């Protein structure tokens, strides 16, 4: 008989899982600024912006605990390695302290594992010199379970700090099964981030329940307002056996 009790958490715990996503190509400067202010209001973990918006985000978030994240090789991972390194250097110069790097999906599908490792390591090495963390996006929608597991192990070998499910721009995003697979494929020092499809408090709780510590979100306001309400009601608890990421809307 399973006597495990649901674990209570706080709304702040949820906030510090959120990388507020401002990556849509049509976002204006004004919308980026507004998005950063919203992230600051809810004191989330970070704001993830396009490389051209790093300086804008850094200025708005100055003095807050919200970190500036940007993307490298986004969204297909197909940039040359030296271009990814250059992009990472410029992003850090502009104020990024976390980098979400896309794996070279085509090379992974071609099983060019040495290439993949060297590509990741080049960015990790330059980032770690400046105490900047690297999350590697696998884009699981295009991968078999075997390749997801192999990619996780390559990321760990290359020194990455996180493995991440998706860009949010492929036809499919995070799933519970993928998060479980990724969590068991790396050692406990490597963290797991979900992206694509986490739009509700239920989804956020499911991510945490299976070992994810971050998730990308555009629905930050809705998630956080529901988290505050659930906390006040004493019902903000982790599901014991989440089956999915909750309703999509």
Q: How far is CA 5 from the centre of its chain?
A: 28
244 is catalytic: no
Write the CA distances from 61 to 38, 39, 41, 165, 245, integer angstroms: 10, 9, 10, 26, 30
CA distance linking residue 95 with residue 36, whole number of Å: 14
Give yes or no for a contact between 165 and 195, defined as CB atoms under 8 angstroms apart. Answer: yes
164 is catalytic: yes
The phi and psi torsions of 103 (rounded to 5 degrees) equal -65, 155
What are the start-end ranges of the E strands in 64-120?
A: 67-72, 98-102
- Give the active site residue among 19, 53, 94, 100: 100
CA distance linking residue 141 with residue 92, whole number of Å: 29
CA distance linking residue 45 with residue 22, whole number of Å: 14
CA distance linking residue 137 with residue 124, whole number of Å: 13
Q: How far is CA 8 from the centre of its chain?
A: 23
Residue whose token pair is 């505050």: 228
Q: Which residues pair with 8 in a beta bridge?
A: 237
Give yes or no for a contact between 94 and 55, defined as CB atoms under 8 angstroms apart. Answer: yes
Compute the Cα dihedral for 236, 140, 173, 163 and give only its sign: positive
Q: Which residues are catalytic?
A: 100, 164, 193
């Amino acid at each position: 008989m399973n006597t495990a009790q649901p674990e209570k958490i706080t709304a702040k715990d949820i906030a510090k899982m959120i990388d507020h996503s401002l990556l849509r190509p049509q976002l204006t400067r004004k919308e980026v600024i507004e998005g950063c202010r919203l992230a600051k209001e809810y004191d989330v973990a970070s704001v993830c912006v396009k490389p051209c918006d790093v300086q804008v985000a850094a200025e708005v978030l100055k003095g807050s605990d919200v970190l500036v994240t940007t993307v490298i090789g986004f969204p297909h991972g197909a940039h040359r390695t030296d271009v990814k390194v250059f992009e990472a250097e410029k992003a850090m110069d502009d104020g990024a302290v976390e980098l979400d790097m896309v794996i070279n999906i085509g090379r992974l599908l071609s099983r060019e594992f040495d290439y993949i490792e060297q590509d990741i390591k080049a960015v990790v090495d330059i980032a770690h010199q400046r105490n900047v963390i690297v999350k590697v996006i696998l884009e699981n929608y295009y991968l078999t379970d075997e390749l997801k597991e192999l990619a996780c192990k390559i990321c760990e070998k290359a020194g990455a700090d996180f493995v991440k499910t998706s860009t949010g721009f492929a036809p499919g995003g995070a799933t519970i099964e993928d998060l479980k697979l990724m969590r068991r494929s790396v050692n406990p020092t490597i963290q797991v981030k979900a992206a694509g499809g986490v739009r509700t408090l239920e989804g956020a709780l499911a991510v945490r329940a299976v070992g994810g510590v971050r998730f990308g979100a555009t629905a930050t306001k809705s998630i956080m307002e529901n988290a505050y309400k659930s906390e006040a009601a004493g019902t903000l608890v982790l599901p014991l056996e989440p089956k999915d990421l909750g309703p999509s809307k």
